[in-house]
Structure 1
Amino acid sequence: MAIKPLRKAVFPVGGLGTRFLPATKAVPKEMLPVVDRPLIQYAVDEAIEAGIEQMIFVTGRGKSAIEDHFDIAYELEATMSARGKSLKLLEQTRLAPGAVAYVRQQEPMGLGHAVWCARDIIGDEPFAVLLADDFMVGEPGCLKQMVAAYEKTGGNIICAQEVPDDMTHMYGVITPGTRDGALTEVKGLVEKPAAGTSPSNLAVIGRYILQPEVMRILETQGKGAGGEIQLTDAMARMIGDQPFHGLTFQGKRYDCGDKAGYMTANLAVALTRPEIAETVRIFAVDLLK
């Protein structure tokens, strides 16, 4: 069977961001900047690099800033043009008409439910899911690495990362089969296994390439860990019916859903920017003395 091309990506951005309160009381957590670009911008750029043509944002109440960010800001652009300032940075945030869609998740019922909310736009096509909280830095980008694997294997691909044994209870974890370099056959998935019961230390990270059949499973999916509709549970039910692999990402991940991870990401990215790197480095060295 021919492998269908990957054209669409879902960005679940309806979460409340309670771990970053009060900063996220009025600002979506996905709009928190890493140096000078919001987290969601990095995720969208990663999707564009991987060849994604349509971005589907599953939003919630109070998330209009995300829509505004990817729209034309007429007043701002007109003012900057009149002052002779370049619009290059703003042009990078525009998504062309037809390249973006917004769906409302009316209540926070979990990642699986958020993905299911995009079912009518996905239709009968494979699609990617990107969680902006997982800030991925690599060359090529994480999703592009996954697409290269998908074009060889078809089926479903999830991003995997080795985590310490004492942290497996915080993640969905892969039951591994045969391994071929960075690619691992997925024999099973367990969401947040109890301490000492994890089938491996390969954790599922926030990038997925999924077949549309997962939507039909989510249609009747009951609540799982945390009282939410878990995407991991739905994916587990497809194992054995379709090819299913985990790809270990060659790069660096920063957990920007966590305050320490978010601050680490800012420092790491700042040190790659020529215009500020030296100042930040001198400050950091002096501070750590």
Structure 2
Amino acid sequence: MSMLTKVVIPVAGLGTRVLPASKAIPKEMLTVVDKPVIQHVVEEAVKAGFKEIILVTRNSKSAIEDHFDTHYELESELARKGKDKILAAVKDILPSDVSITSVRQGRPLGLGHAVLCAAPVVGQDDFAVMLPDMLIHNPHTDSSTDFKAMVDDYHQSGAAQIMVEAVPFEHVERYGVVDCAGKPLEAGQSQTIVGMVEKPPQSEAPSNQAIVGRYILPARVMELLKETQPGAGGEIQLTDALDQLIKEATIHAYSMTGKTYDCGNKLGYLQANLIFGLDHPETGTEFKAFLDGIV
């Protein structure tokens, strides 16, 4: 077990599920209320204690890097006009002790390949992976609660971690599902994973705990990914490497207490704006009144 400071966020996807919005704008830059989706995810990582953000990107995604960079002209103009609150929101996107590094994924060869592209930066350290489409909402609590709980379990147990969410059994065929040998897994709890099944029929699903895009992994995964052959869709799948990892190391499933919203599709994106808009201190009260008036 090593120091856990690095998180890999693959942002090289084309965003086909939200076209035409993502034709010229990276899907990760679509806003949920007043922040791009990628900022919500990076803030979640920072609140969980991560200091090194590694973006796996491609050409035409420079807007993501620009968003986290200094915008001298904008900041100077806001300061000149005395708009201190807005200035703080622009300047303080990243704490001074957090860095962002970008690496390129030349071709779209799967999530496993995207993670492997970060290997030179990750080195021999254990690391996290966060999918930028998935936003986590924890009502009335810090939005980092679930991810921080995974980090805590990693430090206590030394086990790799996969975040899961309970879904209706009739929907399990839409997800990758973990097998915890039939042991009950309540929200906020962890169990050892003995296997994973991708999109199983309801009658064959080992559980209703679906993988939701947050991982804490040992450095060994990079070596396994180098040996992983193309799988589903002709792509290098992270799940295939994790199947190998199960044979030699312990992996825990952490069942989240909050709820995920998949901003990579139109419905999930609308739902996220609704939920986060109701929680936002500037919009919540009036937005609720508006919704009450139309429901």
The answer to whether residue 135 in structure 2 is matched with residue 130 in structure 1 is no
- For residue 273 of structure 1, report the CA deviation from its aligned partner: 2.1
Name 1:57's counterpart in structure 2: 55
1:83-232 matches, within 5 Å, as: 83-86=81-84, 87-94=87-94, 96=96, 99-138=99-138, 139-140=141-142, 141=144, 142-177=146-181, 178=183, 182-194=189-201, 196-232=203-239
CA separation in 2, counterparts of 1:49 and 1:270?
Answer: 20
Kept in 2, the 8 Å contact 1:190–1:232? The answer is: no
CA separation in 2, counterparts of 1:47 and 1:258?
Answer: 22
CA separation in 1, counterparts of 2:280 and 2:206?
Answer: 40
Of stretches 256-265 and 58-67 in structure 1, the one that deviates more from structure 2 is: 256-265
- Identify if the C-alpha distance between structure 1 residues 161 and 98 changes in structure 2 by more than 3 Å, giving closer, same or farther: closer
Of stretches 81-90 and 29-38 in structure 1, the one that deviates more from structure 2 is: 81-90
Q: Structure 2, unaligned stretches of length 5 or more?
A: none
Name 2:26's counterpart in structure 1: 28
Q: TM-score, normalised by structure 1?
A: 0.94
CA separation in 2, counterparts of 1:24 and 1:255?
Answer: 15
The number of equivalent residue pairs is 286
CA separation in 1, counterparts of 2:172 and 2:184?
Answer: 20
CA separation in 2, counterparts of 1:159 and 1:252?
Answer: 11
CA separation in 1, counterparts of 2:216 and 2:199?
Answer: 21
Q: In the TM superposition, what whole-angstrom CA distance separates every residue of 1:158-190 from its partner, at most 9, and x where no partner exists?
A: 001111223222221111134575111100112
- Identify if the C-alpha distance between structure 1 residues 207 and 98 changes in structure 2 by more than 3 Å, giving closer, same or farther: closer
Name 2:264's counterpart in structure 1: 257
- For residue 25 of structure 1, report the CA deviation from its aligned partner: 0.6
Return the match for 1:41 from 26, 39, 42.
39
Return the match for 1:6 from 4, 7, 15.
4
CA separation in 1, counterparts of 2:98 and 2:135?
Answer: 26
CA separation in 2, counterparts of 1:75 and 1:281?
Answer: 36
Q: Which has the higher helix share?
A: 2
Kept in 2, the 8 Å contact 1:111–1:230? The answer is: yes
Kept in 2, the 8 Å contact 1:153–1:243? The answer is: no
Q: TM-score, normalised by structure 2?
A: 0.92
Of stretches 267-276 and 6-15 in structure 1, the one that deviates more from structure 2 is: 267-276
Kept in 2, the 8 Å contact 1:189–1:233? The answer is: no
Q: % of aligned pairs identical?
A: 44
Of stretches 30-39 and 161-170 in structure 1, the one that deviates more from structure 2 is: 161-170
Q: Which runs of 4+ in 1 moved over 4 A?
A: 95-98, 178-181
Residue identity in the other structure for 1:80: L
CA separation in 1, counterparts of 2:164 and 2:191?
Answer: 9
